[in-house]
Structure 1
Amino acid sequence: MSSDQFDYKHIYSGLRAHLITEGAQDTKEITASIKLFFCQKYNIDYKILCSGGTHSEYMVDVLVTSFNPKQIFQQKTLDLVPETFRTHLAVESELGGTGASSPYGVMKNVGEDFVKLLLVRADRRVMIMTSLPYAHEAEEHVERRVESLRQLYGHFPTLSSGVLVVHIEGGQPKSTQVQVKIGESTIRGFLIPENGKSVHEL
């Protein structure tokens, strides 16, 4: 496996191309498409824990590990099964959910999942999110939401490797619940570096 398999730019470009090619329309389909991307990308060399995959979801939406945390002991001897315990990648996707009918409700859900992501001990982290603007906000509301995540990242001083944030444009075309849409111009990637002092758009 090439050394860039867990590189943030590599992950972002692959995920973006996958979502555009798959062309999922509603939020449920898009969430399933996101999980499919990570399952297909890593399932040969790693254990993938996510709903709909070979192993069920564990702690966050997607975990890419060197072991199955639900099978760590041998049945008769209770010896440890895996030789190494390593989480290569943790992924959270928050594209709506309960209460996601206002800018605050959407960001509250995103923030809760982002904290879960930061609590997981992983080599790399990916946060996939959407947002809604307040009426008075200019077009930079996406940058403001990502900046809020950067500030939150800064409250976890022992973190390393930064976070890839993938933002998918959201709107409210038919209902009060946020709906995301996939297109060439609706997916953006941001990198919060290890030191958490800035945000770089990819």
Structure 2
Amino acid sequence: MLPDHFGYQHIYSGLRSHLINEGVQDTKKITESIKRFFCQAYDADYEILCSGGMRSEYMVDVLVTSFNPKEIFQKKTLSLLPTAFRAHLAVESELGGTSASSAYGVMKNVGEDFVKLLLIQADRRVMIMTSLPYAHETGQHVERRIESLRQLYEHFPALDSGVLVMHIEGGQPNSTQVKVSIGEATIRGFLISEDGKSVHNL
């Protein structure tokens, strides 16, 4: 059984509070803030692989493991260094950017990152995303995007972890580039159930 600090509600509440308290609004800085949260939360007891500082990414944006996958063998003997191989948490973040300036473009990038989470062998999976509505879409476009992810998850029947999806409201106030907004009302949490049959609001 995983410790409570890997529980989805715990992660969602902690990350949401962290982002609101830091109050950054620039998309690049929000991404950095997300990575900083996971480093601060798990660095004392686990290996954290993500970009920034002296760290580097491995497979996904943030990977929390019981071992360092970049240090598997001893230099002289080639004996295995780790005694346990486990990925506790995998995180992907897709908040738009220059390559995603439309409803389809943003969701296409989200889908690609989401599939990474589904392919990786990890105990817990977290997707942090934004979305844009189509011009003709009225209301609840966020729920429709989450439903698309649920359907995608359902195509991986071997999975039983569920997925925490954190949605941060996005828009295009001054240009075609997506800009996300951090605030009490702009961050929402959704939990895709372990069997992929339902979505619960957090």
Task: Please tell me the TM-score bracket, short chain as reference.
Answer: over 0.9
Structure 1 stretch displaced more, 93-102 or 22-31:
93-102
Alpha-carbon distance between aligned partners in 1 of 2:196 and 2:35, rounded to the nearest angstrom = 26
Q: Which residue number corresponds to residue 102 of structure 2?
A: 102
Tell me the CA shift for residue 98 of structure 1.
4.2
Alpha-carbon distance between aligned partners in 2 of 1:116 and 1:161, rounded to the nearest angstrom = 14
Q: Which residue number corresponds to residue 150 of structure 1?
A: 150
Q: Quick one: which amino acid aligns to residue 9 of structure 1?
A: Q
Q: Which residue number corresponds to residue 50 of structure 2?
A: 50
Tell me the CA shift for residue 25 of structure 1.
1.0
- Large movers: runs of 4+ above 4 Å: none
Which structure 2 segments of 5+ residues have no match? Answer: none
Indicate if the aligned counterparts of 1:90 and 1:117 stay in contact, CA closer than 8 A. yes
Aligned pairs (5 A) from 1:47-86: 47-86=47-86
Q: RMSD in angstroms over aligned alpha carbons? A: 1.1
Which structure 1 segments of 5+ residues have no match? Answer: none
Tell me the CA shift for residue 135 of structure 1.
1.6
Q: Quick one: which amino acid aligns to residue 118 of structure 2?
A: L
Residue aligned with 2:35, SS: helix
Aligned residues: 201
Instruction: Provide the TM-score with structure 1 as the length reference.
Output: 0.97
Structure 1 stretch displaced more, 154-163 or 144-153:
154-163
Alpha-carbon distance between aligned partners in 1 of 2:97 and 2:69, rounded to the nearest angstrom = 27
Residues 7-64 of structure 1 deviation map (CA, whole Å, 9 limit, x = unaligned): 0000000000000000011100000000000000000000000001543100000000
Q: Quick one: which amino acid aligns to residue 8 of structure 1?
A: Y
Indicate if the aligned counterparts of 1:46 and 1:64 stay in contact, CA closer than 8 A. yes
Indicate if the aligned counterparts of 1:131 and 1:145 stay in contact, CA closer than 8 A. yes
Would the alpha carbon gap of residues 167 and 126 (structure 1) be closer, same or farther in structure 2, given more than 3 Å must change? Answer: same
Residues 70-125 of structure 1 deviation map (CA, whole Å, 9 limit, x = unaligned): 00000111010000000000000000134311100000000000001111100000
Residue aligned with 1:106, SS: helix
